[in-house]
Amino acid sequence: MKELNFLDNLVGVFGHPVAENPGVVIQEAAFEALGLKRWRFLTIDVDPDKLQDAIAGLRAMKMRGINCTLPHKINVLPLLDEISPAAQLIGAVNMIVNDNNRLFGENTDGKGFMESLREAGEDPIGKKVVILGAGGASRAISIEMALAGASQITIVNIPSDRALAYALVDTLTKHTGVEAKYVPWESEYIIPSETDILINATPIGLYPNIDEKPMMDYDSMHGDLFVQDVIPNPSFTPFLAEAEKRNIRWNSGMGMLINQAAINIKMWTGRNPDKAVMTEAYRTIIG
């Protein structure tokens, strides 16, 4: 007789809506390449008022972990047993590890971003950074950049979100020691000449609005600048095209997506996935 084991290791994503989330394609390609035959990534639509039930279900089914995407990244915090220091500062969790019914929350959006930036040859230490937007992506990125040693962070955001931007600047200043400020975004933004890294952390350019780009004076992009987008679909945006046509170095949001997924897999399985396989799988779905 042979020993049989058909028990599945379950991970996945809770979101609403979530049907377009590409996690399953990227992560199951990685599982396959790693030979992790009984690992499953489930895409699960959880209504906002059912998140508590969904987390109880995760515990009941002994799922190994879950990604949380909009609108659950903040509301999940009180349902967890432990939250990483960075995720506490960010105020949001996008991945959970379940260790024997102890739920640990982490924010791998910012960590994936940092890894992608490093892969592109950029070191954040001492850099002056401008970030467009003050939402979840901006919070994760700005806090990780500050913790990694950036010297100055400017949050550029539309005035309707003034409170959000001030709250972020306040957190950065009090908890990381970085020099942080808020600039209201009322007209074409002119990039200060001392800026090292410019980051679009708004949804501008995301499918289906693929012709849109942030309201900026693009001629203020200077030669030493590094331009980074968070948009993963399409991976080449009009914002990046402005950098490309001026021979300015840039990096797309695809690397952030792949790296955060790779960190999730490492935290869930203990294995290092093949990022080339994951990138290829993602390219097959976005074209």
Contact letters (x/-) for ligand NDP, 29-68, by CB under 6 A?
Answer: ----------------------------------------
Query: Which range binds ligand NDP by CB under 6 A, 10-18, 58-66, 82-90, 202-210?
Result: 202-210
**Minimum distance from CB of 1 to ligand NDP (Å)?**
46
Closer CB to ligand NDP, residue 12 or residue 232?
232
**Binding residue for ligand NDP (CB under 6 A) from 12, 23, 65, 253?**
253
**Minimum distance from CB of 241 to ligand NDP (Å)?**
17
Longest dimension (CA), the chain: 73
Query: Which range binds ligand NDP by CB under 6 A, 5-13, 134-142, 167-175, 176-184?
Result: 134-142
**Minimum distance from CB of 101 to ligand NDP (Å)?**
28
**Binding residue for ligand NDP (CB under 6 A) from 57, 71, 135, 184?**
135
**Binding residue for ligand NDP (CB under 6 A) from 65, 232, 234, 273?**
232
73 catalytic per annotation? yes
Closer CB to ligand NDP, residue 109 or residue 196?
109
Angle at 83 between CA 82 and CA 89, to 5 degrees: 150
Closer CB to ligand NDP, residue 1 or residue 19?
19
- CA 36, 37, 39, 40 torsion-angle sign: positive
Closer CB to ligand NDP, residue 59 or residue 207?
207
Residues in Cβ contact with 265 at an 8 Å cutoff, skipping those fewer than 6 apart: 27, 30, 31, 34, 271, 273
Closer CB to ligand NDP, residue 150 or residue 263?
263
Contact letters (x/-) for ligand NDP, 152-171, by CB under 6 A?
Answer: -----xx-xx----------
**Minimum distance from CB of 113 to ligand NDP (Å)?**
7
Catalytic residue (one of 2, 37, 50, 73): 73
**Residue whose CB is nearest to ligand NDP in the complex, by number:** 135
21 binds ligand NDP (CB under 6 A): no
109 binds ligand NDP (CB under 6 A): yes
- Residues 21-54 as b or e (16 or more Cβ within 10 Å = b): bbbbbbbbbbbebbebeebbbebbebeeeebeeb
**Binding residue for ligand NDP (CB under 6 A) from 68, 147, 178, 204?**
204
Positions annotated as catalytic residues are 73
Q: Which residues bind ligand NDP (CB under 6 A)?
A: 109, 112, 133-138, 157-158, 160-161, 201-204, 206, 230-232, 253, 256-257, 260
